[in-house]
Structure 1
């Protein structure tokens, strides 16, 4: 039987879950204290039929095995020198996931700046950047149930509500793939920590929250 936590990550379309993650707190309980921030950008990947997915066409490797696990599990992978985190969604053996692309820092900000060696909006405005800022630079938590892992979405903390959510194409996927232009990327409109956010589009007053 699924826990209440696991149920959050299944039984509804993956893009809907990806939108519901916006405004929720992602926390890493590290050795130097808690660090984390509000999720402001996500991307949905909808499994074997999705040309941008690691599971496209039924592809399954030891590296991506965690993607086939329980809803709410972590799928941590590496692109070149950068680590990224997906949350596994849907039922076991249904390899769908949601990439956490950007955070607005909220906890342990000074530690995040030290981890990253940078501050400002560039601290967490990309999937590799946020993992570096959190201090997660390995795949040691790959496959772990997020509700028991050191890295988790805190579903007990009240969610911040975006004033507006914008959907658009995902970033960095194969432009020739059949699903390259699907609107599976979701952002808090106007939040300056969204990756590739143009300064003229950023809301410096409210950061896009109600």
Structure 2
């Protein structure tokens, strides 16, 4: 989807096939309001998890438990789970009851980077080049679980020297997506998902997507960094 399209139907966007959503989320500008401050960045890395057939997915075989309830929700629902004390941010796809989602693995920070550095205790690419890193940087935790993503529309825009957003009109602990100010990757690379051992064919399936050359992609080699990775 082009970043300047005026026909962004949120329901339709998130209900698209999970693999397509994982690709189309790359470059999208996501924002959160925490403690009356706005933080945001461009999504640069995702992984698709394909529900009841995917042995690496929490929805494998359709097992519904309280911990994964959000995963069975409507498209655009936020699903947060904990791995090794780190919070993982997922966005539910497809129709309700079909437990598929996209894991957000990396963002390029752009709004309030100073606060993200403070939240992480790290700077440079270490701010958000990994799923647990980006959630800590942006203050995303369990309180976001089961919430619905909101679209940044004209009601959130205001013209000022400091910001194009009307932060007073935004809610705390909600994930926002700004289609209008998103970017488009020059190239998208594909690989197997990270940290998926012993899952048969699902270990090797290429369901990880990332902006080629972006330094905020997890495990990206310095030799692969590119100065210009957006169109």
With normalisation by structure 1, the TM-score equals: 0.92
- CA distances 1:20-41 after superposition (whole Å, capped 9, x unpaired): 0000011111114111100000
Residues 176 and 141 of structure 1: is their aligned pair in 2 closer, same or farther, counting only changes over 3 Å?
A: closer
In proportion to residue count, which structure has more helix? Answer: 2
* Counterpart secondary structure, 1:140: helix
Match of 2:139 in 1: 135
1:14 is the counterpart of 2:35: no
1:160 is the counterpart of 2:160: no
- CA distances 1:161-199 after superposition (whole Å, capped 9, x unpaired): 111001110001134432111111000000000000000
Shift of 1:151: 3.4
The answer on whether the counterparts of 1:42 and 1:102 sit within 8 Å (CA) in structure 2 is yes
> Which aligned pairs between 1:22-61 and structure 2 lie closer than 5 A?
22-61=26-65
The answer on whether the counterparts of 1:37 and 1:105 sit within 8 Å (CA) in structure 2 is yes
Runs of 4+ in 1 over 6 A off after TM superposition: none
Q: Give the Cα–Cα distance (whole angstroms) in 2 for the partners of residues 67 and 149 of structure 1.
A: 22
1:4 is the counterpart of 2:9: yes
Match of 1:123 in 2: 127
* Alignment root-mean-square deviation, CA: 1.6
The answer on whether the counterparts of 2:92 and 2:102 sit within 8 Å (CA) in structure 1 is yes
The answer on whether the counterparts of 1:52 and 1:177 sit within 8 Å (CA) in structure 2 is no
Q: Give the Cα–Cα distance (whole angstroms) in 2 for the partners of residues 30 and 171 of structure 1.
A: 29
Shift of 1:89: 0.5
Match of 2:159 in 1: none
Q: 1:100 aligns with which of 94, 99, 104?
A: 104
Q: Give the Cα–Cα distance (whole angstroms) in 2 for the partners of residues 202 and 170 of structure 1.
A: 20
Moved more, 39-48 or 54-63: 54-63
- CA distances 1:72-114 after superposition (whole Å, capped 9, x unpaired): 0100111121001100010000000000000000101000000
Q: Which structure has the greater CA radius of gyration?
A: 2
Moved more, 47-56 or 139-148: 139-148
Q: Give the Cα–Cα distance (whole angstroms) in 1 for the partners of residues 58 and 196 of structure 2.
A: 11
1:146 is the counterpart of 2:149: yes
The answer on whether the counterparts of 1:168 and 1:186 sit within 8 Å (CA) in structure 2 is yes
Which ranges in structure 1 are unaligned for 5 or more consecutive residues? none
Q: Give the Cα–Cα distance (whole angstroms) in 2 for the partners of residues 170 and 144 of structure 1.
A: 26
Q: Give the Cα–Cα distance (whole angstroms) in 1 for the partners of residues 87 and 199 of structure 2.
A: 24
* Counterpart secondary structure, 1:70: coil
> How many residue pairs align between the two structures?
204
With normalisation by structure 2, the TM-score equals: 0.84
* Counterpart secondary structure, 1:180: helix
Q: Give the Cα–Cα distance (whole angstroms) in 2 for the partners of residues 178 and 72 of structure 1.
A: 28
